[in-house]
Amino acid sequence: MPHTLDSFRRRLCILGAGLLVGTAMPGTVLAQATEPPDSFVYGERDDVMAFALEVAQRQNLDPGWVRRTLAQARYLPSVARLIMPPPAGTAKNWAAYRARFVEPRRLRAGLEFRKAHAKWLAQAEEMYGVPPEIVVGIVGVETLYGRHMGSFRVLDALATLGFDFPSGRSDRSAFFRAELEQFLLLCHSEGHDPLELRGSYAGAMGMPQFMPSSWNRYAVDFDGDGRVDLHRSPADVIGSVAHYLAEHGWQRGEPTHFEVAAPVDTADRAYLLQPDIVPSFTAEEFAARGASLSEEGRGYGGLLALVELQNGGAAPSYAAGTGNFYAITRYNWSSYYAMAVIDLGRAVEALYGSRAVSSAR
């Protein structure tokens, strides 16, 4: 789900769960792996074996190991179905989407995670500038703090999408073959059994749902035990998420967004919405186009994006996103996802703060 989750996950933005077009982050709604009768083992298929030889040469891996591994990959029709976009015309609904994440079970789990790993969250903020609530929000939205990390064999998911990407949408098979190559490199370098690792239907792994390329590039051994473990080490998870965001533009001490009333004039509103979630306008340019920012927003010196969150048949919600809001969308190209992360993290942080005050009395 960054160059972890992937440029593909960003493009998928909101897939699946029906309330919105749910996020592409498999931790959001995790389908169970199935193997219907039309699944098959790739075996010695020519294109797969040719790919095996190329990977072995590029990465200096044992050709026999790569061939044997890929020969055991299985095509999963369920993966091919899940990667498809939602039906055309599916209405987006921010209020319904938010309610899936800012809810009692996730808040309880988030508070438990926040209390148990306060030391690592503080160290990550000191090192990377990313506050605890953002890390807590991401891990909560992604996998409910490790409770739902995916049940598909990563090898099968990436092989299915790399060698038999379904027709009916833009072909992303090259992206998934590249992730499959990174997965084999990861297993070799970290000593993982490629037949055992499980994750989402898109091949994302661990508590933060990193794609293999992001694991290789951004994951860190934050607890210093000599290995990176994004499945069982909350410290490594926290450090890796913070590192990923820092590498994708997070600025220490900057807000994520400001309150704003969108322009009444449709042309002005369309002009500010045109860059989507990319910060492109100053506070003065917002004002010139009729967007009314909060006092804090009017004093902001950086660039802003007018973020629109649709609410089904009701009026949309708006926010003025900063560069840090945009940095969160590098994890998943969706303003709905970013705002859910922010709101969940803030809600957990408020609970954590109130518990701290109560215990001090």
Token pair 């926290």: residue: 238
Can you tell me the distance from the alpha carbon of 244 to that of 73, in angstroms, rounded to the nearest whole number? 29
317 exposed, middle or buried (CB, 10 Å; 0-12, 13-18, 19+)?
Answer: middle
Q: Is residue 185 a contact partner of residue 209, using CB atoms and an 8 Å limit?
A: no
The per-residue DSSP string of 276-315 comes to TTS--B-HHHHHHTT-EE-HHHHT--S-BEEEEEEETTEE
Between β-strands 314-321 and 152-153, what pairing exists: parallel, antiparallel or unpaired?
Answer: unpaired
Q: Which of 319, 329, 298 is nearest to 6 (CA)?
A: 329
List the catalytic residues: 142
Structure tokens at 36: 């219907």
Q: Is residue 200 a contact partner of residue 214, using CB atoms and an 8 Å limit?
A: no
Maximum distance among all Cα pairs of the chain, rounded to whole angstroms: 70
Between β-strands 74-75 and 152-153, what pairing exists: parallel, antiparallel or unpaired?
Answer: unpaired
Tally of helices (H runs) and strands (E runs) in the chain:
17, 8
Can you tell me the distance from the alpha carbon of 301 to that of 297, in angstroms, rounded to the nearest whole number? 9
Count of beta carbons in the 10 Å neighbourhood of residue 277: 20
